[in-house]
Structure 1
Amino acid sequence: MRYRNETAGKNVAFVPKKMNNSTLPENEHRRELVKYGRQLFANTSGMIPNKTGSSRMSCANCHGGGSLPSANGMVGQEITMIPLVGTAAGYPEWTGRTSRMRDMRQRIQGCFLRSMNTDPKNIPAYDSREIQAMESYLVWLAKGTPVQKVPYWRHIRKPEGSEEIPVPNINPVRGAKLYLENCASCHGKDGQGSKGQYPPLWGPDSYNDGAGMGRVYTAAGFIREAMPYGSPHQVSDWRDVQDIAGFVNGHDRPHLDRQNKDWSADGPPDEAVYYKRVQDRFGYNMNPMRKKLLMAGIPVGTEPLNKGDIPDNVRRYRNPLNETSINGTANTSSRVAIGATFSGSNQRRAS
């Protein structure tokens, strides 16, 4: 638990609860909502495929547990993933991304929009049975947590201070090598995972470019804390996980149409590499992680990554390289829209 809170020790225990007659609400309708909510969190794309588009993502992919063969326990009760226990007590909350207060139902809808890449027209309605059920499950998990008390396990720690590598110095090409060594056995050389087992990390079935995992420091913290699933902390060096996160987020993924409206007040944070305003801030004409991969000749679509794709000199890609074009000459061209078009009704051009 030191990865979550170094001072927690034996005084603070993260104890998963069981779902049975003694823990479920007495009201029959609420009881059924909680149980249905658990099912939706466990296998979201399987339970309501019309609400997740072509995405193969489920809440359990980030929050642990679920119906997958590799899962441990109920969704949201794994300390090494992103636990949901007690988080309901912190809502409503302020979100800087959309500059507003949001309640728990709006937060769930936001996950459908971004992490599951659901077409806005198909997101479960605010008062739908699905959203009420998922809210009920989160409230059930939070029973006994003081209101507005945020548990220490809610947020995965991102790199900070000397741990944080400036975005232009993150090395996704080195990250490709580390990915093959540590991640490909589950998520595949093509990053597409395996259906019903491990989620896709990029491509048309993954999260879109407005999702939280599309930010390199956020993804790095998750990789360090939660991966590989079931036996985490095997890659704990901060440079290693930031390079892996840079590699993953240098790939094509679905585009969120409302992305340019995010962070309207202060602008996107540096880690949001899919955002044009961040790219412009660092002097790039595209996602800086993507550019370095293309310069190295590493595929950014769903083609398999092979050891032979990785150049011998990976250290070069620790440099910003923003003034160098992909063919090695000075970069004097104007901004170029480079992306991939995915098939499907809710897949749009990725940037």
Structure 2
Amino acid sequence: MNSRLPATPETLAEQAADWIVRLSADDPGERQQAEAGYRAWKQADPRHAAAAAHLESLLGRLDDIRSRGTQGPARQAIHSARPRRPPPRLATALALAAALLLPGWIALQSAPADILFADLQTGSGEWIARTLADGSQLSLNSNSAVDLEFDAKTRTVDLLRGEILVDVARDSSRPFVVSTAHGNIRALGTRFLVSRQDDATVLSMIESRVEVRIDGQEQAVVVEAGQSLRFGPGSENSLAAIDGEMLETAWQQHQLVVRDRPLAAVLDQLARHRPGLIRYDRSAIAKLHVSAVLPLNDTDRSLQLLANNFPELRIRTLTPYLVIVDHEKNR
């Protein structure tokens, strides 16, 4: 390790990644020596231990790499990148890149097949708009996926992930339905936003009205323009007033409008609109709520706005693909 380098978050992360590479050595003696050195490095400075903890949580499989003694992902990345041993800082950079890419690789392997093979989908930071076969307009924002099923009797959009804006073409003979894991939204001619979250679906009405049938409930709920409905397990399924015109404008301008939302939920939303990871302790920020308009096409600026409004937060960008959000009580 080059102890003469300044102890910035970036260099500490690189040093931690280099130790993780050494821990995946093929030779048992080399691994044992690396384990002893890694322990000593972490004990030498609390900042070392913090940097190590962040990267260990990213890799997730560090203990498995240690126990198997096989060539780990980080070491494989280095071997495949050069025929001879590269300079130490290049090896460190490659290790850090592998550490950051591994969670995405794991997520890709575990992604449901219906999302991987969805009819329409977007990546991080990508927004698309399409005209459907019936003339309806469908827009998807970042990290969204839908399946389409149109036939002579029905028009169905299955929202698998993310958020959509729908402008429905009138066709009284074929109901237009947006389906999620939490229920169905039925409309004849209308414009609305639908956001699928882990534990609920959020419907925001801009124009006209829809009928919502929530899974597990017999009674349908009618949602009018200027109203929203959050439904799903544990939700109250109650209507709330919204400014539909403002929400549509925010969509067109790629903005996130939130009112008294948990900070964790806001960070999750921002994470959908950027590559890499935003890491934070959900329990440490559970009491913080946000009311704001945040730019989704510049999530770095959004994070800075949050930091300006919450002095107790420290937001560090270790790389363009790794952001750490710390609360003062955890420092």
Q: TM-score range by the shorter chain?
A: under 0.3
TM-score computed with the length of structure 1 as normaliser: 0.24
With a CA cutoff of 8 Å and minimum separation of 6, indicate the structure with the bigger relative contact order: 1
TM-score computed with the length of structure 2 as normaliser: 0.25
Q: Which has the higher strand share?
A: 2
